[in-house]
Amino acid sequence: MLALLFLLLASGSDVIGEVEDKKPNFVLMMVDDLGIGDVGCYGNDTIRTPNIDRLASEGVKLTQYIAAAPLCTPSRAAVMTGRYPLRSGMASTGRVQVLLFLGGSGGLPPNETTFAKRLQQHGYTTGLVGKWHLGVNCESRGDHCHHPNQHGFSYFYGLPFTLFNDCVPGEGSDVLVDIQLALQHLTLLLGLGLLTMVCVRLCGLLEVRLWLLVLLFFVSIVAAAVWYVPFGLLQTWNCIIMRNQDVIEQPMTVETLPQRLLAEAQSFIKRNADRPFLLFFSLAHIHTPLFTTPAFAGKSRHGRYGDNLEELDWIIGKITETVDSLGLANNTFMHFTSDHGGHLEDSDSLIGQKGGWNSIYKGGKAMGGWEGGIRVPGIFRWPGRLAAGKVVDEPTSLMDLYPTLKYLAKDTQPDRYLDGYNLMPLLEGKAARSKHKFMFHYCGGYLNAARWHPPDSNSIFKVHFFTPNFFPPGAGGCYDTKVCLCHGQHVTQHNPPLLYDLFHDPSEFRQLTPETEPRYAEILQQIAKAVEKHKSTFPSKEGSDEIQVQPNTIQNQMSWEKILWRPWLQPCCGTFPFCGCKEDKNIYK
């Protein structure tokens, strides 16, 4: 009997050891442009999000989860790498702050390291379903140097670019609208001039030489091509679906996109249920153009935006259901978040508000360091490992995801400089304070704001070195340009910087002064020292106080040279420029 008892105990300990040593799965779900105030568990009581709320009730909710940038491309670069986007050249000091053309050469540099690449090296099957928006090609159509497959994702299905208004006829354009109009007007003027000169010659009013007419004709053709080919065909060039490195639909059918992305995400989980996997499910919701799925149209109390949110919640529920039905819940780290805050300026008279609600927080998408553009939902569920219903109010960052995944995958290999920290001590309740004593906030490539969480206080002090100029004056956004800009006359510099205490004033409404805050001078001094230390971690030009991206150290991926469309880099289904194909929908039946 003693011998039998010993064997049972020994075998039991082996089983426990196997469970403890088993690598966890990761299901990371990122929404596009979702406001923190859009979700029920963050205070919204008029839009139904029961599935997202369930994740929060069964796991941990972060209330101060901060994106590294208030726009898609730089924020996603930071999530992937665990580093501020400036470190990989993914932050712009000019007008354009995101990638605009799939046929551009900018993107996440091939020598950057993503969390997918690290996990792939540790035996994980990795997949990305949905939006990428971090570039595709560098020098030729097929080099795929920025492609997800080159950044650690074994499988990719989705949008190498993003969903934007040009993908649906009649929804308007999001890409350099003023330049489009200027080129269009130039083309019309040249055409009108040519027609006028032809009439003058035919009527004999003036002697117009034939060579001049021919020259004007060819100039008009070139002007028309410069306008129409890159801009008039944007739906064909940018709105495509790829499976791995093959273009399988061009242009894509937007109406069926949500169902296809969901089916691909579910299929990836089911295919890899018996091995460690990482799924990054990067949804097309809730970016415009908004979907009009019949099952959800007109069902919410907030128009089309509310309909899309409730569809999004249903999708999250189906992914959770897939994980649970396969018996994977207790070994799967699930995460829900958004890349940045809601787009306040996006609305029209027909549909109404098309962007999100950022709750009590000031600002939104593309508004630099204002809280509404960078504070996003952060929910983690892992039954048996994370306590249900736990709330963490400490400052945390989307960049923390990278070191957290490394830790859970038992990746102890050396890495480059990281700006994020492992979240598990906070999530598991083993630590009460965040390691983010200071955090820095960028508007494009410019250091815009910073926060300090003193170790002896609950206060979280935040300074703004400059702020975007809202228009019209007194408005809560940049309604003239639709997105705020970060340079020149578009911003107001502050010296001394604006100072707020987010613990007592999360809406950044009451500016602190030496008369109202006893620690005023100390706060500015501590943050100034932290900024100098932060700057020292970047390469900088000699004699300059500003953080710079040097061509010989970090190549700027967001320059005009990198962003503008190049025909030889354009992904194409078929023979360029006759690109076009449709995915076989029968594979989803």
Torsion of CA 477, 480, 486, 490, to 10 degrees: -110
Q: What token pair was written down for 538?
A: 């970047």
Catalytic residue among 41, 122, 133, 343: 133
Q: Do residues 40 and 377 touch, judged by C-beta distance below 8 A?
A: no
The CA distance from 221 to 223, in Å, is 6
Contact between 303 and 309 under an 8 Å Cβ cutoff? The reply is no
Whether residue 490 lies in the annotated active site: no
Q: Which residues pair with 28 in a beta bridge?
A: 280, 335
Q: Residue 444: which of 81, 135, 95, 78 has the closest Cα?
A: 95
Strands 332-338 and 375-381: antiparallel
What is the CA angle 370-546-399, rounded to 5? 50
- Tokens 């712009």, residue located: 92
Bridge partners, 443 (sequence order): 446
From 41, 72, 484, 572, the catalytic residue: 72
The amino acid at residue 420 is: G
Q: Could you give the CA distance from residue 580 to residue 583 in angstroms, rounded to a whole number?
A: 10
Residue 577: strand, helix, or coil: coil
Q: Is 138 a catalytic residue?
A: no
First-to-last alpha carbon distance for the chain, in angstroms, is 57
Q: Report the distance separating Cα 284 and Cα 130, nearest Å.
A: 6
Active site residues: 72, 133
